[in-house]
């Protein structure tokens, strides 16, 4: 066999994402994959003869993760699907570390990457970037996430000034969360001007009039509870056409 995909964590290589993820949680380190650790070699070759493979294209390659990479939301369960455009965005954000098993030591990194990924999706739709420089919004998001983790369930948070999206997901799928939510675009009808519960997370993420994002993350057993707060409030009745544009192709091609 001329090539092999493997996962690297704390200096060790693993043949499966599951094994690498378990070791990541134990040692509190990240799992890496991708072009920088894909190697071409002959089984009989010595370690010194192993050479790095030539760069491969990613046009038709989807995230390497277990099939059931799913997030549970208030009203449904959404799973990782095939979307070449969102995968390009995912690569821009996560290719340096690959699919990463979440642990509390990575809280700040995940919040930063979530903000970056959301803003790249927003750019595709002509929406301005969000800022995380809103201490109250961030504090409320974290408080909500802590409560969900404590209760071990999703709860409804109503507000006249914030919009909220939330979900619970397994530690090993965390790096795919924003992509899963963005891919709800397949349920969204840009010709209509009303709320679609199956695309609730997507529409909140790209809502044009929102300016700030607060992210809350908390763990409970094998699950991670994530809360995103947007201000000004999105998903406003009869405002969808003016706040959500279809993908702007010249931005998608960049």
104 and 214 inside one domain? yes
- Residues of the chain with pLDDT > 90, as a percent, come to 65
Q: Does residue 253 fall inside a structural domain?
A: no
Question: Is residue 102 within 8 Å of 221, Cβ to Cβ?
Answer: no
Tell me the whole-structure pTM to 2 decimals: 0.76
Q: Does residue 55 fall inside a structural domain?
A: yes
Rounded alpha-carbon distances, angstroms, from residue 73 to 76, 84, 127, 167, 235: 5, 24, 24, 5, 16
Give the model's pLDDT for residue 27: 63
pLDDT digits (tens, 9 = 90+) for 15-55: 766 676 666 666 656 655 544 333 333 434 444 443 333 33
12 and 117 inside one domain? no
Q: Does residue 48 fall inside a structural domain?
A: yes
Q: Indicate the burial class of 147 (C-beta count within 10 angstroms; 0-12, 13-18, 19 or more).
A: middle
Q: Does residue 148 fall inside a structural domain?
A: yes
216 and 134 inside one domain? yes
Q: Is 40 helix (H, G, I), strand (E, B) or coil?
A: strand
Structural domain range at position 25? 1-64
26 and 126 inside one domain? no
Give me the torsion for CA of 105, 171, 153, 157, rounded to 10°.
60
194 and 157 inside one domain? yes
80 and 185 inside one domain? yes
- Across the chain, mean pLDDT equals 83
pLDDT digits (tens, 9 = 90+) for 48-91: 443 333 333 333 334 445 567 999 999 999 999 899 999 999 99
Q: Does residue 182 fall inside a structural domain?
A: yes
Number of domains in the chain: 2
Q: Does residue 16 fall inside a structural domain?
A: yes
150 and 237 inside one domain? yes
Specify the length of the chain in residues. 254
**CATH number of the domain that residue 86 is part of:** 3.40.33.10
Q: DSSP secondary structure string, 114-145?
A: HHHHHHHHHHHTTPPPPB---HHHHHHHHHHH
93 and 34 inside one domain? no
Rounded alpha-carbon distances, angstroms, from residue 125 to 181, 232, 248: 15, 18, 6
41 and 79 inside one domain? no
42 and 4 inside one domain? yes
CA–CA dist 70, 73 (Å, integer): 10
Which of 29, 46, 64 is where one domain is finished? Answer: 64
166 and 55 inside one domain? no
Other beta carbons less than 10 A from residue 104's beta carbon: 11
């Amino acid at each position: 066999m001329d090539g092999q995909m493997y996962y690297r964590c704390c200096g060790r290589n693993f043949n499966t994402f599951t094994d690498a993820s378990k070791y990541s949680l134990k040692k509190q380190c990240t799992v890496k994959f991708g072009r920088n650790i894909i190697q071409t070699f002959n089984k009989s070759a010595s370690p010194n003869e192993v050479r790095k493979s030539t760069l491969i294209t990613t046009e038709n390659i989807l995230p390497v993760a277990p099939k059931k990479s799913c997030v549970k939301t208030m009203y449904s369960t959404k799973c990782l699907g095939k979307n070449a455009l969102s995968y390009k965005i995912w690569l821009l954000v996560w290719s340096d570390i690959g699919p990463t098993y979440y642990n509390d030591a990575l809280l700040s990194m995940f919040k930063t990457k979530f903000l970056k990924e959301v803003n790249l999706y927003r750019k595709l739709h002509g929406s301005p970037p969000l800022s995380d420089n809103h201490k109250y919004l961030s504090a409320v998001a974290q408080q909500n996430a802590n409560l969900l983790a404590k209760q071990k369930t999703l709860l409804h948070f109503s507000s006249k000034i914030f919009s909220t999206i939330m979900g619970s997901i397994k530690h090993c799928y965390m790096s795919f969360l924003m992509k899963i939510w963005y891919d709800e675009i397949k349920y969204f009808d840009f010709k209509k001007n009303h709320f679609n519960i199956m695309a609730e997370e997507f529409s909140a993420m790209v809502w044009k009039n929102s300016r700030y994002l607060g992210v809350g993350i908390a763990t409970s057993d094998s699950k991670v509870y994530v809360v995103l707060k947007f201000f000004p409030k999105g998903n406003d009745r009869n405002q969808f056409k003016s706040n959500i544009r279809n993908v702007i192709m010249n931005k998608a091609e960049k």
